């Protein structure tokens, strides 16, 4: 179903020429685009009007793209905001840090604006697929979660999970490749008023890995933030 309102994109870039060019191409592609010329400005803007996707330059004055990304991911309100990072070739190690901290994709400068538009569209498509609430099942390799029957099978054999383990696994399966912070998981599965600590999440992740060996390598711990499900099923 095509959406009636154009998707909103926030471009965070301190170089006005690049920002304007990206805005132009995004608008040509049918998106609504705004520019923030610093990380602080971007963080302010997403509070007043939530974009559907952020294009975030790595090199920004005051706080850089990595820090912006980290702050967005650790705040439950914005944790799932899709982010494409813009980086320069020389910053490849920073790029990896950026992806670890939860950027969904990255584009290396210099880039063609058309290619960036294609990446934005691809990310929206990917997210629409995984966020589809009408799906009756979710899967990861030989692991299948039947949502209607509330049943999980591995290689066709039923795995017995507690309600919390089921909820945790469902969140991971719905967002492959995306970093989910402990706070976000705790709030959405245990609820805001849950009296516990983020360690609860670690304990449940460990139990899931014990019950489903396939997840042992597939659930990746992201330094100081939380967890993500690998977006690729390992052959093992």
Contact footprint for Ca ion (CB under 5 A): 14, 57, 59
Give the residue with the Cβ less far from Ca ion, 95 or 175: 95
Q: Which residues are CB-contacts of 134 (< 8 A; sequence separation ≥ 6)?
A: none
Burial of 130 (0-12, 13-18, 19+ CB in 10 A): middle
Give the residue with the Cβ less far from Ca ion, 58 or 168: 58
Shortest Cβ 29–Ca ion spacing (Å): 22
Helix (H/G/I), strand (E/B), else coil: 170: helix
Give the residue with the Cβ less far from Ca ion, 17 or 235: 17
Parallel, antiparallel or unpaired: strands 105-109 and 219-222: unpaired
Sign of CA dihedral 105, 108, 5, 82: positive
Shortest Cβ 47–Ca ion spacing (Å): 22
Shortest Cβ 37–Ca ion spacing (Å): 9
Give the residue with the Cβ less far from Ca ion, 14 or 100: 14
Rounded distance between C-alpha atoms, residue 199 and residue 202, angstroms: 5
Written as six digits, the tokens of 52 are 């559907």
Shortest Cβ 13–Ca ion spacing (Å): 6
Query: What H or E segment, with its residue span, contains residue 178?
Result: none
Give the residue with the Cβ less far from Ca ion, 39 or 226: 39
Give the residue with the Cβ less far from Ca ion, 36 or 152: 36
Comparing every residue's Cβ against Ca ion, the nearest one is 59
Shortest Cβ 15–Ca ion spacing (Å): 5
Rounded distance between C-alpha atoms, residue 188 and residue 175, angstroms: 14
Shortest Cβ 216–Ca ion spacing (Å): 39
Q: How many Cβ atoms are within 10 Å of 187's Cβ, its own excluded?
A: 15
Give the residue with the Cβ less far from Ca ion, 11 or 186: 11
Total count of residues recorded for the chain: 236
Query: What H or E segment, with its residue span, contains residue 35?
Result: strand 32-36
Contact between residue 6 and residue 30 where contact means Cβ atoms under 8 Å apart: yes
Shortest Cβ 33–Ca ion spacing (Å): 17
């Amino acid at each position: 179903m095509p959406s009636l309102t154009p998707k909103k994109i926030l471009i965070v870039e301190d170089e006005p020429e690049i920002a304007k060019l990206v805005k132009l191409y995004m608008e040509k592609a049918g998106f609504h685009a705004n520019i923030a010329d610093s990380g602080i400005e971007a963080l302010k803007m997403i509070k007043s009007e939530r974009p559907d996707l952020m294009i975030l330059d790595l090199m920004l004055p005051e706080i850089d793209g990595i820090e912006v990304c980290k702050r967005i991911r650790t705040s439950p309100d914005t944790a799932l905001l899709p982010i494409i990072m813009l980086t320069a070739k020389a910053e490849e190690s920073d790029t990896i840090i950026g992806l670890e901290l939860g950027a969904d994709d990255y584009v290396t400068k210099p880039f063609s604006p058309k290619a960036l538009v294609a990446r934005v569209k691809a990310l929206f498509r990917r997210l629409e697929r995984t966020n589809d609430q009408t799906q009756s099942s979710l899967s990861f390799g030989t692991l299948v979660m039947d949502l209607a029957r509330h049943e999980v099978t591995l290689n066709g054999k039923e795995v017995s999970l507690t309600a919390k383990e089921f909820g945790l696994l469902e969140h991971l399966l719905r967002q492959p490749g995306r970093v989910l912070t402990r706070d976000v998981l705790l709030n959405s599965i245990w609820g805001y008023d849950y009296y516990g600590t983020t360690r609860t999440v670690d304990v449940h992740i460990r139990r899931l890995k014990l019950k489903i060996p396939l997840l042992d390598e597939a659930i990746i711990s992201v330094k100081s933030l939380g967890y993500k499900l690998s977006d690729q099923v390992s052959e093992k």
